Structure 1
């Protein structure tokens, strides 16, 4: 067994030095030869800790009263759920550029030069929007939602009583990861709308003031589904964060649509002038 552990330790050292030259690898040892210290800790196990530190406040206060927030596990099996969801989010972040590259490699041979330029921009913007949605969920939406939700507890604590607010680890991590993936996917909508308008597939007249109001109501429903905040504030924040890029994409798409129409009219006018000149030239020759 000790020989196996030595081999594992050397393998971990080799991989770490190869990918992170000049850095210490002492904390990455799988296990000591005398079995006196703990086991190897995978990288994914640090991710839930980072999420909790980022999104969960240590204390909440209201009306001058402060309460401590304590995280507690609810089940011995929730660790597997946390690790799987964390791996899903990290895998999505790490794989998004690779997926974009594979999509580009698949489409590139069938595209014209001007289409290649357009699709390349689309892929870059799509990955950027996905990563922005994850950042938005982890650093803004989830912390804000949890702080508001936990701040409701002091309303139910009578004067003179002390309370500790217990929070499930799996609930916090699951909420954060679900919000991150949901916002990352939903933020692809503005990009799709822009290219549908710019390509002439959708008519800008469809997006009147009344239509945009209906779109905002739809985004309120999406915010209500995504956000667990019972106060409704989280729903409004998510709806605004979704509506703003959507509105900008529609306006930019309208501009690109009319620009394309104008270019087509100019080309038609130029063709008409060329035909007219050719007709006059042929008439003079006859």
Structure 2
């Protein structure tokens, strides 16, 4: 029997709260998350400022544009709203640990003690892995993708990307790579919660590899560089998740004899 099964004595018995109390707590948690995002947004708006943040975000693309070429804005208000959106996105990422903590604090009262011990490390690791995925995309993938695309551009064409289109591209790529780097967390959760055994996850390795390349082909732009840059790390991180799940499984507390006897 899994060491994470529900115990004979329900430790959550008597801790139920009225539905209205849950709604009020949810409101408070959401308000704190919004305040954290607003504070980070305000700080980034003051320094380095929305314009500087957009210049930083556009640097990988601008570095591969022809000399003297700049990005363009086809919408009248785009020069104002696009940098503000960038600042809001950066503020959300900066406040992500607080947002995830508020989510954990909201669900924690409904978890068993062994689940509470698992959730907080997962929140921390999820935050770090998401940031790692975004950083990998910005510092490595963007440069390789833009270099590859510009190498195919005809000499008769001068590339002048639109700033709104670039923002949409960047956000999609950041979300894709940030989510892809969460693979080890998903594997550990499936194994530790007893949903899927580690042995079964190892057997599914081949299916996951195929699925990773299919997902990369759908999410990323239609170029081989970005597809490989997403699919290969997903496969490697799947192996990392298997190793972590195996290691953590060895440290799991074995069920008591009374619990084993209670299993049908």
Q: Is the 8 A contact 1:81 1:170 kept in 2?
A: no
Alignment correspondent of 2:212 = 219
**For 1:78-227, what aligned pairs fall within 5 Å after superposition?**
78-79=78-79, 82-83=82-83, 85-111=85-111, 113-153=113-153, 156-157=154-155, 164-209=158-203, 211-227=204-220
Unpaired segments ≥5 residues, structure 2: 1-41
- The TM-score normalised by the length of structure 2 is 0.69
Aligned residues: 216
CA distance in 2, matches of 1:223, 1:268: 47
Please state whether the residue corresponding to 1:56 is helix, strand or coil.
Answer: helix
Pairing partner for 1:249 from 237, 241, 247: 241
Q: Is the 8 A contact 1:223 1:239 kept in 2?
A: yes
Alignment correspondent of 2:52 = 46
- Of the two structures, which has the highest relative contact order with CA contacts closer than 8 Å and spacing of 6 or more? 2
Structure with greater proportional strand content: 1
Q: Deviations over 1:101-131 (max 9, x none)?
A: 2123223444555443322211111111122
Q: Deviations over 1:40-87 (max 9, x none)?
A: x9922322111112x125347xxxxxx537223151344356235414
Please state whether the residue corresponding to 1:166 is helix, strand or coil.
Answer: coil
Cα 1:255–1:81 shift into 2, 3 Å: same
Alignment correspondent of 1:73 = 72
Please state whether the residue corresponding to 2:69 is helix, strand or coil.
Answer: strand
Q: Is the 8 A contact 2:126 2:182 kept in 1?
A: yes
Cα 1:124–1:59 shift into 2, 3 Å: closer
Q: Is the 8 A contact 1:48 1:173 kept in 2?
A: no
Deviates more, 1:249-258 or 1:144-153: 249-258
Please state whether the residue corresponding to 1:73 is helix, strand or coil.
Answer: coil
CA distance in 1, matches of 2:115, 2:242: 21
Please state whether the residue corresponding to 2:194 is helix, strand or coil.
Answer: coil
